[in-house]
Structures are given as structure tokens and as C-alpha cells.
Structure 1
Amino acid sequence: MRRDAGVPSYANNIFVSAGLQKALMVVVKLLASGEGETQTGVLTPIPCPHTLPMLLDEAGVMLVPYQLREDRGWAVDLEELHRALKTARGRCKPRAIYISNPGNPTGHVQDRNSIEEVIQFAAAERLFLLVDEVHQDSVYGQSKEFISYKKVLFEMGKEYSETVELVSLNSLSSACMGECGLRAGYMEVVNMDPDVMLFVDTMLCGDISTPVTGQLALDLMVNPPKPGDPSCDTYTQEILLRRATLSQNAKRAQEFLNGLPGMSCQPVMGGIYLYPRLRLLSEITEQAKVLEVEADVLYCQKLLEEEGVFVGAGCQHGGTTGNHHLRFCILVPPHTLEEALDRLGSFHRRLWADSCTLTKV
């Protein structure tokens, strides 16, 4: 309620889980049904969190890809949503749309108008909104702010606030605290049928419970020390330092990557990743075909073997652009980032020079 300027929340609508994936799996399994043309489909952004396609497959639902607009900083495009939905019908039964805001791994932060468009689309098409908001505390783009889907939904009037079904997900591991190993997150459900909520509660309780240490850290994340508390100054200084470091890392890495031949990176507004586009010359793409792997996967394997730097491949999971991308995490100390960039740059320039030499020969 503090975050959303007084929009009401109710304890019975909030479920703590052993991480975001556990909570999301419960909801997706409740949506899953049918086979063939009646199989549940979930509209999924491309690019998306790397674990999402596997989760949807395990839950038995079909991934329905919609392409984010790279030329607009990885924005959600309403026309693309309609295209994806129209294409999916006849192959499956779309019942939900997954949104990541701030974007994972793109770093895009939606503005109010974009959020309203998605809510109106979901309402018109009777789609369940699955909103991943785990990077909400990591927004650093100039003149950008995080606005929750729930806040916008309740400001759009009863036509939407009393009808659109929404689940908002948050997690300890992707916030400024970054405590991945503690495995704790939560979700807030809006407008879900009370009878269905009983199954949510049962499925979460029947699985592995959230670790006590994770619950303690989660409580600290959502209810931090207040002015006058003994630890308030220390906590505030550490959080501000983390956010400043994240912002500086994003700017530094973006400038560096844009300076490499064949690489370009959209401005990042929030989150812990950069998602640069990678143009590869024919030598590595041909080698990838022989090895039967994606070219960006081969690039990442070579980078790890030769320089000891681990970068994620940006496999598009149903995307049709034919472009290659990398997932580059910036939630690291500045000196670690500099070493990683230096090794990445050395590897990339060497690979590029070798490819150009072979092309000339």
C-alpha cells in the first residue's frame, strides 16, 4: 500500500513462496488444460526470462511468442500483441499474457500509457495477467519510475479494477538485496475466484516451504528499517550504494558494448541485465551449423573457454528476427565488471579480426 499510494492490499491475497518460479508454476498449472487446439496458451515476450519457456513446457501449456520492439528500446507493442493472439488461435487457446516490467533481460521500463494498453488488451480478450515485477526496486533510467500494474489497474476505474485477473510476482533474488540462495518471493493476486485461491494455497503448502532465512530477508526487503531504528543509516547507505553501482555499471557496460564492432545495445532503464545485439561473421555461424548449435551459444562457449567469462546466450525461443543477442548481468562490483568487459572486448575483437581476415582470403 505504501508503494501504490494507498491502493488497498489484503493479506489473504498475498502468498509467500520459495522463489518466483515456484509461485508462477502454481498459477500456470491452474490455467493449464486441454490438448491440441484446446491446449492453454500463454502470450510470452521475446526475449523473455531464460527459465520461462522451460517452466511453461513443464506445466503443459503452449508458449505463444510476441516480439518486443528492439527499435523502441524493447517496448511492448499493441499491434504485435493482436498479431500474436490472432496467430495462436486455431493452434491453442490463449488464456494468459506474461509481462516482465522492468523487462528481463531487456531493462525496459513501461510507462503508464503502455501499462494501460496492456490492461485494456487483456480485458478485451479475457486474458489472465501474469506480471513479473521482480526488478521494481532497480529502476535507474533518467526520468523513469516504476509503476505497478496493480496501481494502474485500480486507477482505471471499476470496469477494469473489478474484472481483470492479475497476479503480481516479486522476489528476493532480483532486488537490490540480490540474495539468490535464500529462495524467497511472493505473489499478490487480484480478482481471482476465492475457490481457485484455495487451490493456490493448497499447492504452495504442499510443496517445499520457503526457508526461514528467506522469509526473514523477504520481510526486511518489504519492510526495511525506519528512521530512528539502529540499523536504518547502514541499511540506507548500502541500498543507495547498490543502486548507484547498478546505474553506473549499466552506463559503463552499454558504452563499452556499443564500441565493439558488430555489437549494439539499447539504452537500459532498469533491472540487472543488458541485452546487446550481436552480429557474427560467417566463420562462427558456419561452425555453429556444423556443430548444430545456435551461433550465439557457440560464441558464449568460446568466450568462457578462452577468457573465463560467462555470458548468457540470447536464444529467442520462438522469435523470428534471426538476430543474435547476449544476456549480460551487471549486478557485480565495478572492478569485476571492468575485468569482464576487458576480457570480453579482447575475445570479441580477436574473433572479429580473425573472421575478417578469413573473409578477405
Structure 2
Amino acid sequence: MRLASVGLPHASKIFNVSTLNKNVLNAEYAVRGAIVIRADEINKQLQNNNHKFPFNDIVFCNIGNPQQLRQKPITFFRNVLSLVTSPELIDNAGLQQTLKPDVFQRARTILSGIDSGSTGAYTHSQGLPSIRKNVANFITRRDNIDDPELINPDSIFLTDGASPGVQNGLKALIRDHNDGIMIPIPQYPLYSASITLCGGQQVGYLLNEQDGWSLEVEELERSLKEATDKGINVRALVIINPGNPTGQVLSKSNMENVIDFCERRGVLLLADEVYQENVYHEKPFLSFLKVAEEMNKLDTVEMISYHSVSKGFLGECGRRGGYFHLSPAIDPGVRDQMYKLSSINLCPNVDGQIMVDLMVNPPKKGEESYEQYNDEKHQILSSLKRRAVKLVDTLNTLDGVSCQTAEGAMYAFPTITIPPKAVEEAKKKNIAPDAYYALCMLEEAGLCVVPGSGFGQKNGTYHFRTTFLPPEEKMDAVLTRVAVFHNNFMTRFA
């Protein structure tokens, strides 16, 4: 018999807000926070034609979710995934007339690495050995590492996107409230929220906006000293490269300085490199593993690096595929404990694992799908570059807005000048001024962005983060909506 709970007073509930873990209450995740909740409410009204808004759709620019904004998936990847998921289709005569021969061959190869032959079965807790081997080969090729034994498949953990790998690393690092993790300001709120959930301390270091969101070792030293003076044990340094939300790409010399800092100060390096394919500037992406190897410091600098199928040109966010790699300097005992953490979740989802395999081992020149794959990749990345340039250029024409070049990733993070009258109005509503700006943009223009306060920002400054993921043919219309809203906002509160 089901006991009715309707009408019970709040205080009589065993599980209520006052009895929740305080770390859960304190954690915040602005990328899907209050502004996005309001956007979903408005979207429902638009769908029901029950509204008085001056627009007919919500453009969700709050999160790097390319396929939500109609980016087409890579044909080869989806075809192979379909056959691996439904192996009976491999011998279908009709499909053999439609799909390219290497699609069938790749599906058979992937299936041969699955002992059960079914993607519906649990796998090894670190992920399928065959796929981890391909990831190791990918890292070796990407970084031009001479010794093929240097990257061990047993040091690679496949994950449901990069986020669970980050969270497992923080769970293992943070022992109590005295442990701190250095994070960039601005930062991706996965880090601030996860550190709070683990009961640790956020140790922010400021990126230099005036110098293209550069990272300065002097600022790292200042942040570290300030934390240690407070009795905080700084355990790790988070670097997001290319940057999120800031879009910068680190130079090699800058990376060398970071590696020296970590070695000198005895700090673990957490290298978030999920945007490594999203580079739109002359500065190339270099992995921290490669730079450390060239500095002959792989044996001394402890590092965990992350990658994902959600970003790049794939945009397969819903597949939840990713991996993290423990560098050679990591204690073997840590690898065993990370395995234990992974095994608690049994295994990463298999569709995501397959997508990782395809990401790190795409069609090669000479194979039937290569030309189509290469064309699709080029079209997506070149379009993203054009949209990045157009967005930044437009933002920089607006009164009171300044935006650094988007060198990589999928975002712009402009500074906005908010008039004093708007700041006062935000205070009346008990929200941050940039959150008020973002809320007005949503309700007046139908554009969902994230206020800079959700990422952290230098005191006295205001920002918002927006993606440049709307379809290219709609980008001009979206930018017009941004400009019209901003000009009206500035006039109203002048």
C-alpha cells in the first residue's frame, strides 16, 4: 500500500532542503541555471502559441551543444554506429548498395573488439581494451611521440563525456576542506561546482583579458601564495586550453611556464583539452603532454588530460563519450584507485565509447569514406571560424561592449558596460547586474546566454558568454537581435 505524503508539512519530511548535503546546496552550475530554466518556460509558451513575446523562437546560445542548433553529424560516424548497434544490418544487401564498403569493415572491426558481440552488455570498467589501444595510438600520433610504449592503454579511461573524468579526479584529489584546486577566472562551472560538491576550496587565478585572456605565471604565484597563507593545501592546477568561456589558445612558451610552475610547486596539472580541434587562429593547438615530453619532463610532471566527442567538429554531446589519460609520472597506485572509482559506475556507455574510437581513428586517405569525411570536417570547422569572426566583429561595434578574439573553442566572452540605472534595477530584483542583462536579453530578444558571474570574473567587470553555434545562414539574424536588444537596453537605462 502506498502511503500518501500530500499535505505533510515541510518540517515533517525526512528528506528536505534543510537536511540536504550542504555541498549540494552550495554548488552552482550557471550554464543550465536560472536563465536557462526561464528560457525553457518561455519556449513552452512559444510552442503553445500562448505568449506576447516579440519573437517566435528561443536561440539557445548558453551551452556548446552543436547538434541542438542543427549541426549535421559526421556521416561515417553515424553509419558505423548504426551497424555496430544493429549487427544484423551488416549483411543487408540493400545497405551494401547504399553505404560505402569501409563502413561495413569498420563496424566488423569494432565488433571484433567486443567480447560479447553486443553493445548492450557491460564492458571493462575502463572501457573496451581495443578502443583504449586506439586512443593510445592517437595520442602517440598527435604528439609525434617516438616511443610507442610511452602511452599505455592501461593509463587511459573511457568516460561518459569528459565531465565524469574530471569529477573522478577531483574526488580522488580533495581529501577535506583544507584542499584547494586552482581554477582559471573565468572558468567552466563544472570545476567550481564539482570542487564544492567534493568539499574542497576553489583557488582562483585571473586570466588577463586585456592581453587576449593570457595566463601569467606571476598570477599563478600570487594565487598560490594567497591560498597557502590561508592554510589551503593546493593540490592541482586546472588549465582549459583552448579556453572556455574565453576562447584563447595558449602559446608554447606559456605552456612551458605552466609546466615549470607545476614541477616547481609540486602541483598536479589537470589539462582540459576538449576543444583541441576548435582552433581558428594561427596559433596551433599543442597538448600539455607533447610540450612536457619535449621538455623531458614526462617523468616528473604529474598530469591528467581530458578529451571529448562533444566538441571539435563532432558535436556528439548526447553520445556522452570521452576519455582521460594519466601521464607516465602518475603513481601506479593512483591508477588502481581510479579504476575502483570507474568500476563503481560499472562502465562507460558503449555508444559513447564507439564514438571515441571513431574520433581517434577516422577514415584514412585511400579509404572509401575519406573524402566525404574530410569535406564534412572542413565545412564544419571553416563555418565555425567564419561565425566566430562575425560574432566578435559585431560585438565590438556595440556601445559599451568589448570582445577579445575567439581563437578557439565555441564561445565569445565579451565585457559589457552596464549603466548605473540598470545596476540599481538588478539590485531591486536581487540578482547580479550581468544576470539581469542576460534575463532582459532572453525576454526581449529570445536569446539565451550565460552571465559572466556564472563563470567568475574580475571584480568590477561584467560579461556574458555566448556560443557562435547558430546555423551560419541564421547568424546575421541572430546578431541583429543582439544589437537591437543591446542598443535598446543602453538607451532605456541611460
The reply on whether 1:322 has 2:466 as its aligned counterpart is no
The reply on whether 1:236 has 2:236 as its aligned counterpart is no
Amino acid at match of 2:355: A
**Counterpart residue number, 2:250:** 110
1:211: Cα distance to partner? 2.1
The reply on whether 1:179 has 2:179 as its aligned counterpart is no
The reply on whether 1:128 has 2:268 as its aligned counterpart is yes
SS in structure 1 of the partner of residue 301 of structure 2: coil
Structure-2 separation of matches of 1:146 and 1:318: 25
**Counterpart residue number, 1:32:** 174
Structure-2 separation of matches of 1:291 and 1:144: 43
Considering only aligned residues, what root-mean-square deviation do their CA atoms show, in Å?
1.3
SS in structure 2 of the partner of residue 241 of structure 1: helix
Q: 2:239 aligns with which of 99, 109, 115?
A: 99
Question: Does the CA contact (< 8 Å) of 1:277 and 1:324 recur in 2?
Answer: yes
Q: Which runs of 5+ in 1 are unaligned?
A: 357-361
What does the per-residue CA deviation read over 1:200-254, in whole Å, with 9 as the maximum and x for residues that have no partner?
1121121163222211211111111011222111111110001101110110001
SS in structure 2 of the partner of residue 186 of structure 1: strand
Question: Does the CA contact (< 8 Å) of 1:65 and 1:319 recur in 2?
Answer: no
Q: Residues 180-195 of structure 1: matches in 2 within 5 Å?
A: 180-190=317-327, 191-195=329-333
The reply on whether 1:22 has 2:164 as its aligned counterpart is yes
**Counterpart residue number, 2:283:** 144
**Counterpart residue number, 1:359:** none
Structure-2 separation of matches of 1:64 and 1:214: 32
Q: 1:166 aligns with which of 297, 300, 303?
A: 303
SS in structure 2 of the partner of residue 315 of structure 1: helix
Amino acid at match of 1:303: M
What does the per-residue CA deviation read over 1:155-211, in whole Å, with 9 as the maximum and x for residues that have no partner?
112xx2211110010111122101111111101111111111111112112116322
Bigger drift between 247-256 and 303-312 goes to: 303-312
Structure-2 separation of matches of 1:148 and 1:156: 13
Structure-2 separation of matches of 1:284 and 1:209: 49
SS in structure 1 of the partner of residue 236 of structure 2: strand
Question: Does the CA contact (< 8 Å) of 1:257 and 1:264 recur in 2?
Answer: yes
The reply on whether 1:4 has 2:143 as its aligned counterpart is yes
Question: Does the CA contact (< 8 Å) of 1:176 and 1:243 recur in 2?
Answer: yes
SS in structure 2 of the partner of residue 151 of structure 1: helix
Structure-2 separation of matches of 1:326 and 1:264: 11
Q: How many residues align?
A: 350
SS in structure 1 of the partner of residue 142 of structure 2: coil
Alignment TM-score, normalising by the size of structure 2: 0.69
For the structure 1 residues 253 and 53, does the alpha-carbon distance in structure 2 shift closer, same or farther, using more than 3 Å as the test? same
Structure-1 separation of matches of 2:342 and 2:451: 32
Q: 1:336 aligns with which of 470, 474, 486?
A: 474
**Counterpart residue number, 1:41:** 180
Question: Does the CA contact (< 8 Å) of 1:46 and 1:316 recur in 2?
Answer: no
Question: Does the CA contact (< 8 Å) of 1:18 and 1:208 recur in 2?
Answer: no
Question: Does the CA contact (< 8 Å) of 2:188 and 2:455 recur in 1?
Answer: no
Amino acid at match of 1:52: Y
**Counterpart residue number, 1:223:** 361
Amino acid at match of 1:323: T
Q: Share of identical aligned residues, percent?
A: 34
Question: Does the CA contact (< 8 Å) of 2:402 and 2:415 recur in 1?
Answer: yes
Structure-2 separation of matches of 1:151 and 1:277: 33
Question: Does the CA contact (< 8 Å) of 1:28 and 1:56 recur in 2?
Answer: yes
The reply on whether 1:85 has 2:85 as its aligned counterpart is no
The reply on whether 1:266 has 2:404 as its aligned counterpart is yes
Structure-1 separation of matches of 2:346 and 2:389: 39
Structure-1 separation of matches of 2:454 and 2:226: 18
Question: Does the CA contact (< 8 Å) of 2:187 and 2:456 recur in 1?
Answer: no
**Counterpart residue number, 1:288:** 426
Question: Higher RCO, 1 or 2 (CA under 8 Å, sep at least 6)?
Answer: 2
**Counterpart residue number, 1:313:** 451
For the structure 1 residues 170 and 106, does the alpha-carbon distance in structure 2 shift closer, same or farther, using more than 3 Å as the test? same
The reply on whether 1:59 has 2:198 as its aligned counterpart is yes
Question: Does the CA contact (< 8 Å) of 2:161 and 2:308 recur in 1?
Answer: yes
Find the structure with the greater CA-based Rg. 2
